[in-house]
Amino acid sequence: MENIFLANAWLILALPFAAFLGIVAFTLGHKRLSGYLTIAGVGGAFLVSVGVLAAVTAGGSVHLSFPWYVLGETHFELGLLIDPLTAIMLIVVTGVSLVVQIYSQGYMHGDPGYSRYFAFMALFTTSMLGLVLAPNFLQLYIFWELVGLCSYLLIGFWYRKPEAAAAAKKAFITTRLGDLGLLIGILLLYWNTGTFSFGGIAQVIAGHTLPEGLITTAAVLVFCGAVGKSAQFPLHVWLPDAMEGPTPVSALIHAATMVAAGVYLVARVFEIFSASPTAMLVVAVIGAITAFLAASMGLVMTDIKRVMAYSTISQLGYMMLALGVGSYLGGVTHLANHAFFKALLFLGAGSVIHATGAQDMDEFSGLGSKMKITAGTLLVGSLSLAGIFPFSGFWSKDEILAGALQRTDNPLLVFLGLVGVLVAGMTAFYIARMWLRTFTGEFRTPAPAGAHGGGHGSHEGHGSVHESPWVMTVPLIALAIPALLSGLLGSDLTGQWYGHFLEGAEFHPESLNPLVAGGSTIVTLGGLFLAWATYSKKWISAPAVQRQFSGVHRWLVNKYYLDDLYLWLIRRVVIGGSDAFQWFDLHIVDGVVNGVGRTLAATGSALREFQTGRVQNYGLAFFGGVVIVVVFTVFLR
């Protein structure tokens, strides 16, 4: 702990939190200052995180716990845990957050809730960092819920829009359903290991004293939390709706950081999962299903942010698939790479929305000529997402697919790997479709849809589309650098630094598998080509394909009718059941009470006064009765 950064790692939490407090206490009326405070707080946390990463690379670590409250043998503790996984996450969270805060100054310019926005963003960053730094399940759960709160507050930021308010509520409740599983999993682990601490639980599991069935149950329950937070099937439905929030929020929370918390959680307690092949299989299957379903919906969405949202869900599914097939490295590196390129894609989309006031791709055409930086950086992000060599997405995607396809011990896992290859093609198609429809073709002034709430009315009718201000384009460029290069950290060029750093002694360097890398690249290029042929060359008519497969298309645009199913369940089961409770309460439970009261009143003529509402008579009778009982008992003895 002699390292100055490790000794002061608590600053990573304290600085953004101080920014939050400062805004709430002092600068709500000073918009610019509020923005600067959050940037300063997050920037400070970023600098400390860089120092921490350097220290951890040199072999340092932090394991710190102190009691929060204690009840006998049960210690409720908080603390800090810094290991390679944490160090990488700290850089991802503070790095992306810093860039997003700078960008937000431009994007949120003129919004009446500007200070509130930056306060919430600072609180979110604090909570996310608290989650990443948690040494035990208690602290993880606390900050897990708090990032959910910030997500709620920021999705519903423009609360006057009914869609935003509804989406915020939907996100909170859906994820809480998953959190219920996580909570039960924590309780189950606590009662069988006697601790909330990750290290302690891993130790007990390593002792092979727990039955595998129990570990499987606990792991699957913990995974429920990850399914909610990381928008995995079947709880993914909240994430597309979350796009009602301001776009920088979507970039930071609903693409780069918070939604990756589920993946982080599985990686953090990987010892629990890897002790149960069944639980691993569940993770892999859910991941693959999610990756495929979300990519398929991404193919047909026309709202630029929704394309990104489904892409995020799909990529999170990829990460789960990686962890499920045992590729810890693939899951974590894809998390990090995805955070940068997806934040870039969202901020780029935000730049387009900011410039045009619209977000439906039907309104876009040829914007590339007007917005060169946005178009260029988005191209980098898109190619990275598609997984084209040498962009960052290529490396981690390859790691994931190789990890799955090498699991010849279980044909199901190989099949899931093949699904992953198919998803790679679909991904390339939908992201190319997005880029081509938005930036290429003939320029046409988009009609603002008014979808971009809050203080952006000024954009309407200003007629000329132009590049966003530098506070927005510089962040795009800053994110394009890791989107292009961060994958190289996993390549031979850096001696596979990622692997050595994350897995340490257990890491066995492997070169690219030419079959996997080549095969997936061919599929990806195929996807890109199809999109190019359809949307640039018009060799294939999109409407004709849509007509041909109208049944499939209807299922996809209606999101497999899952939202409708859930709505039906809520109306019928939750509300319907509650209505039944209400009827039962009024007519049966209270009916009996009133009936007893009426019967008593009617039978006892001495109590007739009661009906006039003179309760004192009843009270008198009661006390008289008590006196009789007392006297009776006393004399009886």
Partner 1 sequence: MIFPYLSAIIFIPLVGAVAVAFLPQENRGIIRWVTAGFSFAALTVSLAVFAQFNLSSSSPQFVEKVPWIARFNIQYFVGVDGLSLPLVILTTLLTFLAVVGSWHIDNRAKEYNILLLVLETGILGVFTSLDLLLFFLFWEVELVPMYLLIGIWGGPRREYAAIKFVLYTLAGSAFMLVGILALYFTSNPRTFDMTQLAAASWALNFQMIVFALIFLAFAIKLPMFPFHTWLPDAHVEAPTAVSVLLAGVLLKMGGYGMIRVCFNILPDAAREYAPWLAAIAVINILYGAGLSMVQKDLKKLVAYSSISHMGYVLLGLAALNQVAVNGAVLQMFTHGAITGLLFFLVGAVYEKTHTREIAKMSGLAPRMPTLAALWVMAGLAALGLPGMAGFVAEYTVFVGAFGPWAWYTILGAAGIVVTAGYILWMIERVFFGPANPAQGLAHVGDAKRWYELVPLVTLMGVVLFVGINPSVVVNIINSGVLPVVARLGA
Q: Which residues bind partner 1 (CB under 8 A)?
A: 67-72, 74, 76, 138, 141-143, 145-146, 149, 152, 156, 159-162, 164-166, 168-169, 172-173, 176-177, 180, 183-184, 187-188, 190-191, 574-575, 577-579, 581-582, 585, 589-590, 592-593, 597, 613, 615, 618-619, 622, 625-626, 629-630, 633, 637
Task: Give least dist CB 165 to partner 1, A.
Answer: 4
Report DSSP state, residue 479.
H
> CB-wise, 25 or 505, nearer to partner 1?
25
Rank residues 184 and 414 by Cβ distance to partner 1 and give the closer one.
184
Q: Which is nearer to partner 1, 190 or 498 (CB)?
A: 190
> Please, what sign has the CA dihedral across residues 602, 606, 607, 610?
positive
Contact 272, 201 (CB under 8 A): yes
Encode burial over 256-288: b for 16+ CB neighbours within 10 A, e otherwise.
bbbbbbbbbbbbbbbbbbbbbeebbbbbbbbbb
Least distance (Å) from partner 1 to the CB of residue 112?
10
In the complex with partner 1, the residue whose CB is nearer, 4 or 593, is 593
As to burial, measured by CB atoms within 10 angstroms (0-12 exposed, 13-18 middle, 19+ buried), residue 335 is buried
CB-wise, 449 or 607, nearer to partner 1? 607
**Minimum distance from CB of 238 to partner 1 (Å)?**
13
Q: Is 595 exposed, middle or buried (0-12, 13-18, 19+ CB in 10 A)?
A: exposed
Nearest approach, Cβ of 590 to partner 1 (angstroms)?
4
Nearer to partner 1, 515 or 602 (CB): 602
Q: How far is the CB of 195 from partner 1 (least distance, A)?
A: 12
Nearest CB to partner 1, comparing residues 47 and 177: 177
The smaller minimum CB distance to partner 1, of residues 148 and 393, is found at 148
* Minimum CB–partner distance for residue 576 and partner 1 (Å): 9
Task: Identify which of residues 379 and 601 has a Cβ nearer to partner 1 in the complex.
Answer: 601
Q: How far is the CB of 584 from partner 1 (least distance, A)?
A: 9
What is the 8-class DSSP label of residue 513? Answer: -
C-beta neighbour count of 196 within 10 angstroms: 24
Closer CB to partner 1, 50 or 149, in the complex: 149
The structure tokens 């509520």 sit at: 169
Nearest distance in Å: CB 286, partner 1 = 20
Give the 3-state secondary structure of 272-311: HHHCCHHHHHHHHHHHHHHHHHHHHHHCCCCEHHHHHHHH
Q: Which two tokens stand for residue 280?
A: 């691993």
In DSSP terms, which residues pair with 318 in a beta bridge? none
* Nearest to 180, CA basis, from 124, 130, 221: 221
What minimum distance in Å lies between the beta carbon of 183 and partner 1? Answer: 6
Residue 465 and residue 445 in contact, taking contact as beta carbons nearer than 8 Å: yes
Q: How far is the CB of 358 from partner 1 (least distance, A)?
A: 22
In the complex with partner 1, the residue whose CB is nearer, 57 or 74, is 74
CA-to-CA distance for 479 and 344, rounded, in angstroms? 6
Query: What is the Cα–Cα distance from 629 to 150, expressed in whole angstroms?
Result: 61
DSSP string, 181-242: HHHHHHHHHHHHHS--BHHHHHHHHHTT-S-HHHHHHHHHHHHHHHHHHTT-TTSTTHHHHG
Contact between 350 and 247 under an 8 Å Cβ cutoff? The reply is yes
Please choose, from the candidates 348, 360, 538, 347, the residue with its C-alpha nearest in 3D space to the C-alpha of residue 446: 360
Whether the bond between 509 and the residue before it is cis, its omega within 30 degrees of 0, is no
Strand partners for 77: 67
Q: How far is the CB of 593 from partner 1 (least distance, A)?
A: 5
